Amino acid sequence: MTDSSFKIWIMLGEAVLHRPVGGADVLREQLLHLHTLNKQENVSIQLIPYEAGGHAALGTSFAMFRMIDLAASFAYVEWLTDSVYIDQPEDIEVYGYVCNKLMASGADKPTTQRMLMRRIRDLS
């Protein structure tokens, strides 16, 4: 992820800090990896703290892709039995709006880093 032309913005609910799938050691390593990635200039990881309350994407997840060179955007949504790529402009507008709301309710990068480190220490 060191290619500066590639940028990634990841928003995760705070619950990911407390769900030890694979055990505490695995979770600690995963969180340490996120902490390391988030130090890169082209990577932004935001945790959405519990204090944010209900948010625009509560109960769902999606990936939003914007390709500036191609002036194209689409969303990818999956559920238990299927998945779909969404590229209709009116739908993309809704997903873009939700992304903006999530970014506004998420912790900033330094706070996210502190939250990650606090949990990593708790798991040590």
Task: Determine the Cα–Cα distance for residues 87 and 28; give it in Å rounded to an integer.
Answer: 36
Query: Are 39 and 7 members of one domain?
Result: yes
Say what the pTM is: 0.83
Residue range of the domain that includes 123: 1-49+107-124
pLDDT tens, the chain, 124 aa long: 556 677 889 999 999 999 999 999 999 999 999 999 999 999 999 999 998 888 777 778 888 888 776 678 889 999 899 999 999 999 999 999 998 898 999 999 999 999 999 999 999 8
Query: Are 27 and 37 members of one domain?
Result: yes
Residue 105, phi then psi, degrees to nearest 5? -90, -10
How many domains, the chain? Answer: 2
Residue 54 resides in a domain: no
Residue 31 resides in a domain: yes
How many whole angstroms from its chain centre is CA 120?
18
Query: Are 85 and 113 members of one domain?
Result: no
